[in-house]
Amino acid sequence: MITLYGFGPGFGLPEISAYVTKTEVQLKMAGLAYVKQQAMPDHSPKGQLPYIDDGDAQVADSTFIRLHLEKTYGFDFDAVLDERQRAEAWAIERMIENHFNWASGYARWLIPENFAKGPAHFFDGAPENIRDALREDVRGRVADTMRIAGLARHTPEEITELGVRSLSALSMLLGWKPYLMGERPSGVDATAFAALAGLLTPFFDSPLRQHALEFSNLVAYVDRMMARYYPEHAWQRVEAVAA
């Protein structure tokens, strides 16, 4: 039995981390039995979630977990794709994870009202005399990481503009197909769904989320993926903005 370690539900989502969601959806896609446990990033061999225990193997990072599942269980997440589509799917994943997720994470962590209602509560169980210091320390470290990555060197308006460019690209690539690459889901859909749901959850608001609501095909895509892979979750259906 595979054990998936994640943060758990919250913020109107079945799992608060887009990267854990990606792995969980891929486990569902592969039809593999698993149990899920909450953990903290410092429990992971790479200091990040998700990671899995699979027999004697412990694998961290969602991309390497996928590779482990493919090699160990002989499941090809891209079986429905040709060679060009496989290359395109990889490029889309890199755009999402190395660019778009930073813009979405900025909205969650560095917009003060979103941080206060969301990530700040990660520290509610800490001793009261150090709770606020812990919150400010982690928020500062997230900001430093985003500056190193390059995103947080821009103004909030520029960050939103970059995020909208990625949303527009995803919308164009999806069109009115059920899934990003066609009529059947593939591995990249786990990545795209996780990222878009994390932005579209009504729990947080931001200029980037307001722009995302203008892409009705992306809104419908998230609803469709949520119904398929998390039918038990009470997703607050997001209404697209009428053009």
Residues 29 and 128 both lie in one domain: no
Q: 3-state SS of the chain?
A: CEEEEECCCECCECCCCHHHHHHHHHHHHHCCCEEEEECCHHHCCCCCCCEEEECCEEEECHHHHHHHHHHHHCCCCCCCCCHHHHHHHHHHHHHHHHHHHHHHHHHHHCCHHHHHHCHHHHHCCCCHHHHHHHHHHHHHHHHHHHHHHCHHHCCHHHHHHHHHHHHHHHHHHHCCCCECCECCCCHHHHHHHHHHHHHHCCCCCCHHHHHHCCCHHHHHHHHHHHHHHCCCCCCCCCCCCCC
Task: Specify the pLDDT at position 130.
Answer: 96
Whether residue 238 is predicted with pLDDT greater than 80 in this model: the reply is: no
Query: Domain range for residue 169?
Result: 82-242
- The domain boundary, picked from 77, 110, 134, lies at 77
pTM (global) more than 0.85:
yes
What six digits make up the tokens of 181?
Answer: 């690459």
Residues 67 and 112 placed together within one structural domain of the fold:
no
| Domain termination site, one of 14, 47, 77 | 77
Judgement on whether residues 66 and 129 belong to the same structural domain of the protein: no
Convert the pLDDT of each residue in 137-167 to its tens digit. 999 999 999 999 898 899 999 999 999 999 9
pLDDT of residue 243: 53
Q: Are residues 29 and 106 in the same domain?
A: no
Contact yes or no for 160/211 (Cβ under 8 A):
yes
User: Are residues 97 and 50 located together in one domain of the fold?
Assistant: no
Residue 7 pLDDT more than 70?
A: yes
pLDDT band at 236 (very low <50, low <70, confident <90, very high): confident
Total domains in the fold of the chain: 2
What CATH number corresponds to the domain at position 87?
A: 1.20.1050.10
Pair 185, 126 in one domain: yes
Q: Which CATH number covers residue 13? A: 3.40.30.10
Q: Tell me the HSE value of 154 on the side-chain side, using a 13 A CA sphere.
A: 15
The single-letter code of the amino acid at 222 is V
When pLDDT is cut at 50, 70 and 90, the band that residue 239 belongs to is confident
Clarify whether residues 133 and 98 are in a common domain. yes
Q: What are phi and psi of 38, to 5 degrees?
A: -80, 145
Cα distance between the two ends of the chain: 47
- Give mean pLDDT, residues 217-236: 96
In whole angstroms, what is the distance from residue 238 CA to residue 219 CA? 7
Q: How many residues does the chain have?
A: 243
- Mean of all residue pLDDT scores within the chain: 95
The model's pLDDT over 17-31, given as tens digits with 9 standing for 90+, comes to 999 999 999 999 999
Domain boundary among 53, 77, 101: 77
Claim to verify: residue 118 and residue 143 sit in the same structural domain: yes
| pLDDT number for residue 146 | 92
Closest CA to 12 of 171, 101, 118: 118
Q: Could you give the percent of the chain with pLDDT greater than 90? A: 93
Say whether both 105 and 173 belong to one domain.
yes
User: What would the pLDDT profile of 47-99 be if each residue is shown by its tens digit?
Assistant: 999 999 999 999 999 999 999 999 999 999 999 999 999 999 999 999 999 99
Better pLDDT: 42 or 198: 198
pLDDT band at 242 (very low <50, low <70, confident <90, very high): low
Q: Within this chain, do residues 39 and 126 fall inside the same structural domain, yes or no?
A: no
